[in-house]
Structure 1
């Protein structure tokens, strides 16, 4: 152990030490209190999290709160007893605030839990040692309270070449570290060896002021031949500061705003080293510490080993507190300590001193006066700051200037306030300014994070909108292509097209042109609807192209119609179809005209319907002119007339029933239109039959009052057929349809029998053998209808997914193929029969 060079620090003061009050007697064990209050935050970092509940029994050394985060330490039970309360309790702070804590009622047994000592720690890995120290709840015992395991964690880019053990204890009155080095020097050296094993430094320096000769001798004896350097240097306050001690022992200054680790050095307090020894070698967690009880208000000043959580009032009573002479109760030293509001607060891990001073010992501070710019504060500042300027900037809340003048390099030693002739509490101003700056920086950080989150969200929304727009355009294109393909695959003409009615003798080329014109009109109408909803340049272009294509197709169709030879219809089938089309267009037009406030799309549809109706009426008029009334054969009986009346009555009844529906579905609307067209045809037929019937009807041979059997049989047959048709529309099962079909057959046989029994000649009947309903075909048609409806719904939805559209197209195509295959098979079997 060679002599080391010692450097000096700038500034510093020499206040009265008064250490002789408490360093004359050995360390005493403090009495076991009846109740212990253990705050969950006795360190720098996140508070611990309780792992016990009220009413649980605990043993001495048992874990009662686990570390909650990386910078946090656990809390252990200082004695055995019962958990009586978990919640806010008095906390040692100048504000007198409450803090979360665990309260243990002692059982007086002081019974340890099972300990796991590790005497062969040299065989352990560094990570295992670090975990053991962290689980023992050790934090810095010199006053700061930083978690020791975190401080010892190796840094990849920072090699620690110097380990410094701080035994300076420069604060007046405090002698806890002095007495610890005297009585626990061997444990101190053992703890240093464990720290050396963890960080493997090149040198170990133990710094002690020259006012502790007994401690110096004890440590040198315990170090013996080990390569540890005991460095003794002159007493000056505040040489015990971490950065000041590094400068005294090595001559190197820690950079402004930096840490000792930045220059390869690490400082630990002597009490922390002893706690490391107890945790590793003895297996004991940190549940007690050495605390100085001093001051002229105490009858027996001393150092005690006190359990954490012991109420301050009980310790002072043990030391013989004289309440009459007590002026101020300070936790810590007179330079950096703070006044306690009451004695109910507990001892925590950073409580190194309780100073019960009298009025003569520590007089009340005099009122502050204006600064006289003497400059003495700058001369004694150990950090070479300008306290006077910092004070002015603090008063003006000039935070930028405070940071520029290195406010956060201030260690709050109080030397500037000690020498200030104006009694300005400079340290209090600096602490308040630091708190304000930290709060503002925290708010700015949150605001910046919020701004970044907002910008990222806006960017995500923009990208999502662009993606959605691209998918929508792709869907429109696919829908247009699919619609065109679907229209080209069918041979049915779109209803309501403003073209001449289809003649029975149209050529294949003319049919193809009509289909193409219909497809173009449908695609144009759909594109115009989309343009009304989403006005984009792309849709404008698409509508223009489709409109041009529709005009070209219409012109081609008109030219073909002009060149097509006029075919005179041989019957009135085309005339009937034209009448039905005109009636359906009138119904649609009346429905739209009832809308009170039509939209632009509905108004457009109104104009189109009016044009289509005008064209249909012209076509109907031309057909009526072209078709000459056929001579009617004399009616020998009124059977056909009666049948027409019955059919018309049944159709009216069905129509009235459907018209009573309040909110008809799309399928019901279609059925309504079909019934209206059938009723129109039936009424037309009935009118023609009535004109053909002679004015003088033939009288029956039946007696007055008797019911005509033939008429009765016809009515019963019509009623049976109506019941069967109604059941088929309701999709009744086979069991329900079988009796209805049987009733129809019986009614037909009864009608034939009545006709044979009557005197009237048998009518020329053309019977069509109706095949029974094919349930498979009905199911396939239903699937096609549902698939087509789902596809149209997806096409109308601008937010529909591409995958869903593709699946709907595939479903419709599969259903149509299955139906076509079944119809082909059915036709083949019919031809075979």
Structure 2
């Protein structure tokens, strides 16, 4: 499958900074304590079903879904529940958190068994029980995405292996280290959801992965490989759909509305692992990098491990920390507390020194138009900024601000360093409040 230039969306070139791409993933020892939030997905938070003093085991259900748009949560360790507390998440929501003091044995729950899957219904139930959410960052409950209506048809399964954010290499290591389960996950989704064609889309800056999957595609005839330009944000869902198959997801619609399901490569790899082992989502592969950390590396960590423990394991902080990010520098979230725990959809922790974190002074817009030229979904951020400042909600709706994927291209390219992506985010909130 060749790249069609006429079909490519815009974006920006950013420094890849992938210093850990050749660093094999290391299992991090289980910390003395984990804090497992009951909200690790889009939708309703889970309700904890354990109490202080309870002994819990690895893979044991500790958080039940309180709504239909949710994913259950399991213990990543064996140990004793010390407290049911509350915390503020990186997104600003408040939720319960189960604090567990680990015993070091990592005893596995007897409930952990490979699921019996022989139909679409049993497959969806298995994915729901696994606790899988989108591991690319959004945290969309996977069973909801895969549970398409009888009137809907998924022609394409696009495996998102772009990993276009600077620094992050956890998905790349997933491709090299968990290949067999990725293939098994692809096959299972294709079979039980009834998908016609599977395409794995990989950014051009990952030649080893491209070569390996092209060889596997030729041998198995089960999927195709599409090579994406090395340009940010090729991993954004709407962008990768358009670049790979030339279809546009309309405002307010989902990929399935254009016959497509998009899954992150780590999500698909987990599907294969879960069907083989029955172990729910209790650990996460993450990249640790940045100028303020002593040793950059890829780690497999227990969900609920604090950023403090991760920093200590990586040799500690060197110099002064300017900012700690959960995720990449383009779309990641700055942390206010080093006690923040790793959750399911985290793929990186970046420790930036003062130089990397230094914010540039904002000046007046010079109407250069670079933000609109760089926007991958063809919005006009400078016009959106004007409409937001005047609280003109009709104009914001007409400018299609809800199509914004919050990739940060506009803010990155702006010579005046205007906070355009933050304004877009605030504009969408203003529209939601107006509708209410």
Q: Once the 2 structures are TM-superposed, how far is the Cα of residue 226 of structure 1 from its aligned partner?
A: 3.0
Give the secondary-structure state (helix, strand or coil) at the position aligned to 1:416.
Answer: helix
Matches of 2:230 and 2:159, distance apart in 1: 17
Residue 664 of structure 1 is matched in structure 2 by none
Partner in structure 2 of residue 187 of structure 1 = 181
Contact 1:186–1:222 (Cα < 8 Å) also in 2: no
| In the alignment, structure 1 residue 142 sits paired with structure 2 residue 167 | no
CA contact (8 A) 2:47 2:96 kept: no
Counterpart position of 2:96: 100
* In structure 2, C-alpha distance between the alignment counterparts of 1:149 and 1:16, rounded to whole Å: 35
State the partner residue of 2:164.
Answer: 170
8 Å Cα contact 2:162/2:228 also seen in 1: no
State the Cα distance separating 1:296 from its structure 2 match.
1.6
1:133/1:235 CA distance change after superposition, 3 Å: same
Could you tell me how far 1:40 is from its partner in structure 2? Answer: 0.6
- 1:79 partnered with 2:77: yes
- The CA RMSD measured in Å over matched residues stands at 1.5
TM-score (norm 1): 0.51
In 1, are the aligned partners of 2:12 and 2:232 still within 8 Å (CA)?
yes
Kindly state the Cα deviation for residue 274 of structure 1 after the two structures are TM-superposed.
Answer: 1.3
Larger Rg computed on CA atoms: 1
**Structure 1 residue aligned with 2:387:** 393
Cα deviation, 1:756-804, whole Å, max 9, x if unaligned, reads xxxxxxxxxxxxxxxxxxxxxxxxxxxxxxxxxxxxxxxxxxxxxxxxx
Shift of 1:105: 0.9
Where in structure 2 are there 5+ consecutive unaligned residues?
none
Q: Counterparts of 1:164 and 1:110 in 2: how far apart (Å)? A: 35
Q: Does 1:279 pair with 2:277?
A: no
Give, in whole Å, the separation in 1 of the partners of 2:66 and 2:134.
Answer: 18
Q: Gaps (5+ residues) in structure 1?
A: 443-833
Matching residue within 221, 228, 231 for 1:226: 221
Matches within 5 A, 1:111-510: 111-114=107-110, 115-118=112-115, 121=117, 124-223=118-217, 224-360=219-355, 362-442=356-436
Compare relative contact order (CA 8 Å, sep 6+) and give the higher one, 1 or 2.
Answer: 2
Q: Deviations over 1:69-91 (max 9, x none)?
A: 11001100001111111121353
Question: Offset of 1:429 from its aligned partner?
Answer: 1.2
Quick one: distance in 1 between partners of 2:4 and 2:70? 36
Say how many residue pairs are matched.
433
Q: Is the 8 A contact 1:55 1:83 kept in 2?
A: yes
CA distance in 2, matches of 1:244, 1:411: 9
Q: Is 1:290–1:303's contact at 8 Å kept on the other side of the alignment?
A: yes
CA deviation vs aligned residue, 1:203-247 (integer Å, no higher than 9, x gap): 111000110112223333444323200111221101111110011
Distance across 2 between alignment mates of 1:378 and 1:80: 51
CA distance in 2, matches of 1:256, 1:181: 32
Given that 2:319 and 2:353 are in contact with CA atoms closer than 8 Å, whether structure 1 keeps it comes out as no
- Check the 8 A contact 1:311/1:347 in 2, yes or no: yes
Write out aligned runs for 1:735-754 (5 A).
none
- SS of match in other structure, 2:82: strand
In the superposition, relative to structure 1, how do residues 66 and 6 fare at CA in structure 2: closer, same or farther (>3 Å)? farther
Q: Distance in 1 between matches of 2:295 and 2:157?
A: 37
Relative to its length, the structure with more strand (as a share) is 2
* C-alpha contact (below 8 Å) 1:207/1:230 kept by paired residues: yes
TM superposition score normalised by structure 2: 0.96
1:12 matched to 2:11: yes
1:257 is displaced (CA, Å) by: 2.6
Secondary structure at the counterpart of residue 327 of structure 1: strand
Separation in 2 of the partners of 1:227 and 1:423? 46
Give the secondary structure class of the aligned counterpart of 2:397: helix
Contact conserved, 2:285 with 2:299, CA < 8 A, in 1?
A: yes
